[in-house]
Chain A
Amino acid sequence: MTDRPIIDIRNAAKSYGSLEVLKDISLQVKRGQIVAIIGPSGSGKSTLLRAINDLDPLTSGEVWLEDTQVNKKLPTRQYEAHINAVRQNIGMVFQHFNLFPHLNVRDNITLAPKMLKGLSKAEADQLAVEQLNKVGLLDRIDYYPSQLSGGQKQRVAIARALAMKPKVMLFDEATSALDPELVEEVNLVMKQLAEEHMTMIIVTHEMGFAQDVCDRVLFMDQGVVVEEGPPEVIFKAPANDRTKNFLRKHLKGQN
């Protein structure tokens, strides 16, 4: 039971018309594991990540969160109730933050917990304080998103996702839209989560970060997982030529 994966993707496939974006991908992530997904643009990384909370439904295959099938086939109404419940356990962080611009930082964080978990105003405020402390932005609690830097926005977005106490966190290029000098503050928050043994699946173009933080690295190309393994192996001694090529380009760019 304890060894059971927290996320279990079985034979995931996805097509847009005749374009096969994911081809028979299986992936198991255990509790506390941190998995990086790397690969060239258009290889299907985001599509795979977004299949996990059924934001981009698969064409075939199954996604399981512990013992619940995420992409269960249900009548519309039942499916809605089911997926809303499942998604509360899966936090997601987007490249473009997607903070709610009409709400201040506190309300961005407390909107969902208040609505979905029936927290009182006092409980919700307490929660916002806790989460903002974690990402080091307590002094920005009354700010609006437009008054924050990109790095601060992303840290608030992480706090917002964490406030739902998810079992898994998904990151889709969380630092790609940031100016280089703002990347580190977001990476630090993610490293801190890693130390707290949060289960994370991280799509990233930052090889250095993946190497530092992750337990496992998946290299995807053209809708398949070409190679996977611990970062030492993938980055230092990849077996596949496509992986080698990709890394040659990207590791050079890093230095």
Chain B
Amino acid sequence: MIRVFPFFLKAAWVTIQLSVLSCLLGLACGALGAAARLSRSSALRLAGATYVSVIRGTPALIQVFILYFGGPQVGIQLEAFEAGVLALGFNIGAYMTETMRGAIIAVDRGQTEAARTLGLSRFETFRSVTLPQALRLMVRPLGVNINALIKGTALVAAISVVELTYTAQRYIGSTYKPFEMFFLAGAIYMAIIYVTGLGVNWLDRRVALK
């Protein structure tokens, strides 16, 4: 048990890296996706809606497999870790698109009207009136997305990224202790999620209204 512990810590670090990188990619995709879905251009709206429905309509595991195993067929050769980050990031980005879009349209229409009436442009209104209010509405639901993302990183065990779930499976063979191995992996996931939750709470308080 003690013998495997360092390997689990190393694996936890991989899980954290996967989570952070795909979270950043997801936030970028979410922002672009939400911008597209709320755009005045119907082509962009369609592109955004297609992204969301394709990603949400298919299993994340299939998305990981398509990128990792299907990629080379079209000339995209990726390391397992890279494929994992990209697939997880694009995946959570679709959910984040909806979270961000929802927060933006939840800001009272009267806010936009008041700003536009003063003479602010659409962009100025978005930047100084809508966005600051939408941000505080989106912190908690984005926290829910991130929670799902962290647990979802377990999927990339299927393409042999040496993260927590993969490591737990690997040491069952030598220890014959599946319960302990999975329990240990689970406990580490929970610790990561707990700390992330603290971060989300802190951010939520920071952006809260006076």
Residues on A close to B: CB < 8 A?
Answer: 53, 55, 80, 84-88, 90-92, 94, 96, 98-102, 104, 111-112, 115-116, 144, 146-147, 157, 160-161, 164
Q: Which of B114, B121, B124 contacts A98 (CB 8 A)?
A: B114
A240 to B49, CA, bound (A): 55
Asked if A146 and B209 make an inter-chain contact with CB atoms under 8 angstroms apart, the answer reads: yes
Contacts A80-B122, A85-B119, A115-B124 hold; do A55 and B132 have CB atoms under 8 A apart?
A: no
Q: Which of B128, B133, B136 contacts A111 (CB 8 A)?
A: B128
Asked if B116 and A55 make an inter-chain contact with CB atoms under 8 angstroms apart, the answer reads: yes
Contacts A100-B129, A115-B124, A115-B128 hold; do A164 and B118 have CB atoms under 8 A apart?
A: yes
**Which B96-114 residues have C-beta < 8 A from chain A?**
108, 110-111, 113-114
A91 to B118, CA, bound (A): 7
Q: B174 contacts the other chain (Cβ, under 8 Å)?
A: no
Q: B120 contacts the other chain (Cβ, under 8 Å)?
A: yes
Asked if B108 and A98 make an inter-chain contact with CB atoms under 8 angstroms apart, the answer reads: yes
Chain A nearest CB from B4 CB (Å) reads: 50
Contacts A94-B113, A115-B128 hold; do A160 and B209 have CB atoms under 8 A apart?
A: no
Which residues of chain B come closer than 8 Å to A94, judged between CB atoms? Answer: 110, 113-114
Asked if B132 and A92 make an inter-chain contact with CB atoms under 8 angstroms apart, the answer reads: no
Chain B nearest CB from A149 CB (Å) reads: 16
Asked if B121 and A84 make an inter-chain contact with CB atoms under 8 angstroms apart, the answer reads: yes
A84 to B121, CA, bound (A): 6
**Which B196-210 residues have C-beta < 8 A from chain A?**
209-210
Contacts A96-B110, A100-B129, A144-B209 hold; do A87 and B116 have CB atoms under 8 A apart?
A: yes
As a 0/1 sequence over residues 32 to 48 of chain B, the CB contacts with chain A under 8 angstroms (1 = contact) are 00000000000000000
Asked if A88 and B122 make an inter-chain contact with CB atoms under 8 angstroms apart, the answer reads: no
A164 to B129, CA, bound (A): 17
A53 to B128, CA, bound (A): 21
Q: Which 6 A-B pairs have the closest CB atoms?
A: A98-B114, A88-B119, A112-B118, A98-B110, A92-B117, A87-B119
Chain A nearest CB from B172 CB (Å) reads: 52
Which residues of chain B come closer than 8 Å to A164, judged between CB atoms? Answer: 118-119
Chain A nearest CB from B131 CB (Å) reads: 10
Residues on B close to A: CB < 8 A?
Answer: 108, 110-111, 113-122, 124, 128-129, 132-133, 136, 209-210
Asked if B120 and A101 make an inter-chain contact with CB atoms under 8 angstroms apart, the answer reads: no
Which residues of chain B come closer than 8 Å to A86, judged between CB atoms? Answer: 119
Q: Across the two chains, which residue of chain A brings its CB closest to B109?
A: A98
Q: Which of A55, A84, A99, A116 contacts B113 (CB 8 A)?
A: A55
A161 to B111, CA, bound (A): 14
Chain B nearest CB from A87 CB (Å) reads: 4
Contacts A55-B113, A98-B113, A102-B133 hold; do A112 and B120 have CB atoms under 8 A apart?
A: yes
A112 to B128, CA, bound (A): 10
Which residues of chain B come closer than 8 Å to A101, judged between CB atoms? Answer: 133, 209
Q: Across the two chains, which residue of chain A brings its CB closest to B209?
A: A101
Asked if B210 and A144 make an inter-chain contact with CB atoms under 8 angstroms apart, the answer reads: yes
Task: Using A55-B116, A116-B119 as known contacts, list a sample of 4 further A-B pairs with CB atoms less than 8 Å apart, ordered by residue number in A.
Answer: A88-B118, A92-B117, A100-B114, A112-B115
Asked if A102 and B124 make an inter-chain contact with CB atoms under 8 angstroms apart, the answer reads: no
A147 to B133, CA, bound (A): 17
A238 to B133, CA, bound (A): 48
14 A-B contacts (beta carbon < 8 Å): A80-B121, A84-B119, A85-B119, A86-B119, A87-B119, A98-B110, A99-B114, A101-B209, A111-B120, A112-B118, A112-B119, A116-B118, A116-B120, A146-B209
Q: Across the two chains, which residue of chain A brings its CB closest to B129?
A: A100
Q: Across the two chains, which residue of chain A brings its CB closest to B207?
A: A102
Which residues of chain B come closer than 8 Å to A84, judged between CB atoms? Answer: 116, 119-121
Q: Across the two chains, which residue of chain A brings its CB closest to B123?
A: A80
Asked if B210 and A87 make an inter-chain contact with CB atoms under 8 angstroms apart, the answer reads: no
Which residues of chain B come closer than 8 Å to A85, judged between CB atoms? Answer: 119
Contacts A115-B128, A144-B210 hold; do A98 and B111 have CB atoms under 8 A apart?
A: yes
Q: Across the two chains, which residue of chain A brings its CB closest to B128?
A: A111
Which residues of chain B come closer than 8 Å to A116, judged between CB atoms? Answer: 118-120
A100 to B133, CA, bound (A): 9
Chain A nearest CB from B109 CB (Å) reads: 9
